[in-house]
Structure 1
Amino acid sequence: MKPNLAILDEPLLYTEGLSKLLIHEKIFSSVEVFNSCENLYSHIKNSCTEFLMISSNILLLSDLYKCLDTIISHDDRIRIIVIGNSYDVIIIRKLFNKGIKSYLDKNSNYDEFIKSIHALSANEIYICEHAKKMMINFLSNEQEKQSPNIKEPLTKREMEILKLICDGYSSKDIGEKLFISINTVETHRKRILMKLNVKNSVGVVKYAMENNIFS
């Protein structure tokens, strides 16, 4: 059975159009649209909300933080996607610390939104391309500074593979793209995780947050 989605956004014409498209393409079984936090809270209390999309268009940043705190305190299993207004990395990091599972900015397209849904459905997190590139650039800069949190800097090939992992490529896809064997990709993947001291590819993003990599 397809999951359900709640949307906190406006204007009505846009939200209704998006909800009809998502149901028509069988992405969600139902889509509920709200234009106030109070109505959204009431819905969450009285129904099982699996996915929630919140747009920065409808809330000030301080109100967005409060909204997230209220939602997570009620049900921390809700997979929250925030559509930000080109937020900087410090704000994005705080949003993830507040409990969101996906960040897209106002320039993200429909295809990227669908990618985020697939990632969240697989219990992963998703960051839009713009924020993802900032993370990769920071990792590159940290290598040059010989950061104490990274015992050994990533090689050029490992950075290449790290970027493809963040882009959602499988080991098979990476091998085909770089013309190397799957075994070689897996060896590089293990070395990347070991150097960053994380357990999996999702851990790369968590590493960036938990070690204040965006600050």
Structure 2
Amino acid sequence: MKPRLTIFDEPMLYTEGLSKLLTQSKIFNTIDICNSLETLSKHLKDEPPEILVISSNMFMLTELFKSVETIISEHNNIKIIIIGNCYDVIDIRKLFNKGIKSYLDKTCRYNEFIKSINALLLNEIYICDHAKERMISFISNEQGTRNLHIRDPLTRREMEILKLICDGFSSKDISEKLFISINTVETHRKRILLKLNVKNTAGVVKYAIENHIID
């Protein structure tokens, strides 16, 4: 039996064009389009598809993590494809940890989209070529910097700020959330980098993931 596909994206011109192309491929039994969260929620409740395509147009990244987690917890048979805005390696890894089965950059062509569909139908995962190249580069660049032991333990406040950094909050957001000045946040950021022996936010997030501080 052919699977059902739902596309959660905008604008309509793009989604309708993709739907017509996919209809010609005769891979799917039905193809539905949702352009709002309300429509998607109702559709998933009434007629959950086998495959769901979600575009990064529809969510901020932190919201996307939560939405994927919620959808998988409620419909664990749905296979999710994320069309991302060239997310970095750590964010892609987190999306797979949350339960997606395929990741494609927005720059991917139609034939690679079809490759991802075919992989999912074989119960495999799929990562587009561009994202694979970033992963290889990331691993190569990090080979010499794996000595991530902490010189001094993080304080409770530093741990709190580290988790907020990993959730994508800016220094301004953190200062407002914790009722402290931006200068204080920046001081904590510098101390965290020093203690973790990393150079930037990507290194902080990588450390947090590898040490199970965040999911």
With the shorter chain as reference, the TM-score category is 0.5 to 0.7
Counting only pairs closer than 5 Å after superposition, residues 188-199 of structure 1 correspond to structure 2 as none
Residue of structure 2 equivalent to 1:68: 68
For residues 133 and 4 of structure 1, the distance between their equivalents in structure 2, rounded to whole angstroms, comes to 31
Q: Distance in 1 between matches of 2:66 and 2:135?
A: 26
Matched, 1:135 2:135: yes
TM-score of the two chains, using structure 1 as the length reference: 0.64
5+ residue gaps, structure 1, are 149-209
Equivalent position amino acid for 1:33 in 2: I
The aligned runs of 1:144-183 (5 Å cut-off) are 145=144
Kept after mapping to 1: 8 A contact 2:34/2:40: yes
Given that 2:56 and 2:83 are in contact with CA atoms closer than 8 Å, whether structure 1 keeps it comes out as yes
Deviations 1:166-189 (A, max 9, x none): xxxxxxxxxxxxxxxxxxxxxxxx
SS of residue in 2 equivalent to 1:69: helix
Instruction: Give the C-alpha shift of residue 50 in structure 1.
Output: 0.2
Cα distance, 1:100 vs structure 2: 0.6
2: distance between equivalents of 1:7 and 1:67? 15
| Counterpart position of 1:155 | none
Whether the 8 Å CA contact 2:3–2:30 is kept in 1: the answer is: yes
* Offset at residue 139 of structure 1 (A): 4.6
Q: Could you tell me which residue of structure 2 aligns to residue 79 of structure 1?
A: 79
Instruction: Please give the per-residue CA displacement for 1:21-49, whole angstroms capped at 9, x wherever unaligned.
Output: 11122021111100112211211111241
State the Cα distance separating 1:145 from its structure 2 match. Answer: 4.5
Count residues with an aligned counterpart.
150
Letter in 1 for 2:96: F
1:101 aligns with 2:101: yes
- Is residue 58 of structure 1 aligned with residue 61 of structure 2? no
Identical aligned residues as a percent: 60
On the 8 A contact 1:86/1:106 being kept in 2, the answer is yes
Deviation at 1:135, TM superposition (A): 2.5
Return structure 1 stretches of 4+ with deviation > 2 angstroms.
134-142, 144-148
Distance, in Å, in 2 between the alignment partners of 1:49 and 1:62 is 24
One-letter amino acid of the counterpart of residue 123, structure 1 = N
- Cα distance, 1:20 vs structure 2: 1.5
- Counterpart for residue 113 of structure 1: 113
Q: How far does residue 69 in structure 1 lie from its aligned partner after superposition?
A: 1.9
Equivalent residues of 1:7, 1:32 under 8 A apart:
yes
Task: Find the residue that maps to 1:52 and give its secondary structure.
Answer: strand
Moved more, 129-138 or 87-96: 129-138
Structure 2 contact 86–131 (Cα < 8 Å) conserved:
no
What amino acid sits opposite 1:53 in the alignment?
V
Larger radius of gyration: 2
SS of the residue aligned with 1:57? Answer: helix
Contact 2:48–2:75 (CA under 8 A) maintained in structure 1: no
One-letter amino acid of the counterpart of residue 64, structure 2: L
Distance 1:102 1:38 in 2: 24
* Equivalent residues in 2 for 1:7-22, closer than 5 Å: 7-22=7-22
Kept after mapping to 2: 8 A contact 1:41/1:71: no
Alignment match, 1:165 = none
The residue that corresponds to 1:92 in the other structure is 92
